[in-house]
Amino acid sequence: QVQLVQSGAEVKKPGASVKVSCKASGYTFTSYDINWVRQATGQGLEWMGWMNPNSGNTGYAQKFQGRVTMTRNTSISTAYMELSSLRSEDTAVYYCATRHYYGSGSDAFDIWGQGTMVTVSS
Amino acid sequence: SSELTQDPAVSVALGQTVRITCQGDSLRSYYASWYQQKPGQAPVLVIYGKNNRPSGIPDRFSGSSSGNTASLTITGAQAEDEADYYCNSRDSSGNPHWVFGGGTKLTVL
């Protein structure tokens, strides 16, 4: 079945970097953009950016520009999100999701990974 | 702050109809998509486009849009519909960026 499986929980110190992986299966990896969304405990969803697995093109939310890098390895159908200069406010669950474009101004994040908890603590 | 505005909380009696709204300028140009999230789980897409449901989503969920407001309606709410609901759309910058509403906590009484 179509699914995204993410890497396990991480604990990092302030100032460090974290790299989360998202492995796709059940569909052609290069067909849909991968987006990353995070959610701090008790808070709402926050869109971080997108990556086109075919071209490698990316687009990042202004808030994360300069700190986030989204990459992929097409040979293993895996996307990565690396966030640097971590601070306590980055403690959150990070999700990857495919974005399906349906045309006429309509798109949606239709498949989601299970989420990866990243804890930033000294 | 979010470019898409949702009421923080809404309640509905079991079996009744509830509408959850999402307001934002970008909704004049783009459709919203809607996500249901239960505690400890990843979000699930429930409505996309003009009014489309992914496979497996009950037909009591429907969507609509007018002007700068998108709505998710649950007709005959069930106990299992109690969850957080988020709207999402392109932002109003003109760039390929997306934004989520702040979320609405739905309580089924």
Mean pLDDT calculated for residue range B93-109: 93
Per DSSP (E only), the strands in chain B are 5-6, 9-12, 18-23, 33-37, 44-47, 61-66, 69-74, 83-90, 98-100, 104-108
Long-range contacts of A48-56 (CB under 8 A, 24+ apart): A48/A81, A48/A94, A49/A81, A50/A99, A50/B96, A50/B98, A51/A79, A53/A29, A53/A79, A54/A30
Report the alpha-carbon distance of residue B27 to residue B22 in Å, rounded.
Answer: 9
CB A87 within 8 A of CB A120: yes
pLDDT of residue B30: 92
Q: How far is A67 from chain B (nearest CA, A)?
A: 17
How do residues A85-122 score in pLDDT, each as one tens digit? 999 999 999 999 999 998 888 899 999 999 999 999 99
Report the alpha-carbon distance of residue A112 to residue B7 in Å, rounded: 25
pLDDT above 60: residue B2: no
B101 touching A, CB under 8 A? yes
Provide CB contacts within 8 A for B82, sequence distance 6+.
Answer: B106, B107, B108
Give the model confidence (pLDDT) of A16-65 as tens digits: 999 999 999 999 999 999 999 999 999 999 999 999 999 999 999 999 99
pLDDT tens by residue, B38-90: 999 999 999 999 999 999 999 999 999 999 999 999 999 999 999 999 999 99
Mean pLDDT for all residues in chain B: 95
Secondary structure E strands in A1-115: 3-6, 10-12, 18-25, 33-39, 46-51, 58-60, 68-73, 78-83, 92-103, 106-112
Tell me if A106 and B30 make a contact (CB, 8 A cut-off). yes
pLDDT band at B94 (very low <50, low <70, confident <90, very high): confident
Give the pLDDT confidence score for residue A105 in this predicted structure.
80
Are B46 and B57 in contact by the 8 Å Cβ rule? The answer is: yes
Nearest CA to CA, how far is B44 from chain A (Å)?
7
Residues of A in contact with B83 (CB under 8 A): none
